[in-house]
Amino acid sequence: MESSAGNGTDLMENSGVAETGFDSSQIIGATAGLAGILGNGLVCFVMLRYRSAFSSITNKLMLHQSIVDFSLSTVMLITRLYTPWGQFYCRVPRGWLYWGLANVSTFSLMLICCDRYVAVCYAVKYRKWFSAKRVKIGLLFVWLLPVLWQSYLVLVHLPDGASCVAIWPNDTARLSFGVATFCWEYVLPLALIVVTYSQTILALRKRLRVKAEQAATEPSASHSRNAGNKARKDPLQTAKVRLTITFLVVAIFFVICWGPTEITWLLFNFGILPGSYYASLWHLGLETPLLCINTCVNPFIYCITYTQFRRHLCKAFCGGCKSNKVKDTSVEVLTENTSDPLQSTRGKGPSTATEVNT
């Protein structure tokens, strides 16, 4: 018995294509791809132009995430505008390459979750666990595992009219790969996000509470009155909190954008949803846009929540504006990952201002 199924927006994409030349999912995908190219390209431009300001491991992982999303957006745009619906097109660009890059983006986010968890909960061991060599090994697995896993699409992702579908030899194979894909692409990342960020948030709250209590016990009356404010004004701690919030928002958007598609994909493989569901308004009007938005939303999150990036973005395009000038004279740079704040200023002479990578 031959059964067919498709990954997300790939199933039933021929709905409406005969009348318009492009169906709604193609138009949405092309628009999101263009937005992802512009947004992630801008992030890469700013971070590469101001490399010294984004030299920490976390910022390098953020740059890597943007490069992956830029590549994914490029493939999305091309495969939505150019649709020959042939064997090679469905097996490689629309199948293995597209979903492989999407999976690499997910695993890159998982590595960032681990980075934030270790940086906050095990700050003393952070430099050892996230050394340059170990991060490179981690990035190797971030690329290797998804690329190998999605390689099955080269065998089963085939053209079917004006669409690409996964052709399975039987229902058992379809169900097995459906459940495995759901666990690999969504359950595993979701579990890691929940565990790491819940522990990270608890550790940050505990640390802020301890600092406030320590400041409150100081003999000076002025210290006692401003204990809470002084605890919160620790620049290194503030940097960690802000950067953690940034990537927490990124992780939340991943859960929201991928959740509906992955859940309905699982229900479809169990036979609960019919194949016609993927031509429904709910799928084309909600799930497809959400999945596409995930490739281009991160740059907007960085602009809103990441002070360091927003400041240098303004500096790149409005360097002469009075309100966007960055103090460059005798500046002390404290990165969010350093356990020794003075290490970054050795050999630079006395400092008159403090700049924190937030």
pLDDT in tens, the chain (358 residues): 334 544 444 443 444 444 445 677 788 899 999 999 999 999 999 999 999 999 999 999 999 999 999 999 999 999 999 989 899 999 999 999 999 999 999 999 999 999 999 999 999 999 999 999 999 999 999 999 999 999 999 999 999 887 888 888 998 999 999 999 999 999 999 999 999 999 999 998 888 788 777 777 765 545 545 555 554 556 667 777 888 899 999 999 999 999 999 999 899 888 888 877 877 878 888 888 898 999 999 999 999 999 999 999 999 988 755 544 444 433 334 444 444 333 333 344 444 333 344 4
Is the separation of the CB atoms in 170 and 3 below 8 Å? yes
Q: Which residues of 14-37 are buried (b: 16+ CB within 10 A; e: fewer)?
A: bbbbeeeebbbbbebbbbbbbbbb
For residue 4, the SS3 value is: strand
CATH number for the 3-320 domain, one of 3.40.50.1820, 3.40.50.300, 1.20.1070.10, 1.10.3720.10? 1.20.1070.10
Determine the pLDDT at residue 240: 78
Strands (E) located in 173-313: none
Q: Where are the domains of the chain?
A: 3-320
Q: Where does residue 260 rank: exposed (0-12), middle (13-18), buried (19+ CB within 10 A)?
A: middle
pTM, two decimal places: 0.82
- Cα(182)–Cα(178) distance, integer angstroms: 6
Q: Which residues of 273-310 are buried (b: 16+ CB within 10 A; e: fewer)?
A: beeebbbbeebbeebbbbbbbbbbbbbebbeebbbbbb
Q: Which residues of 55-73 are buried (b: 16+ CB within 10 A; e: fewer)?
A: ebbbbbbbbbbbbbbbbbb
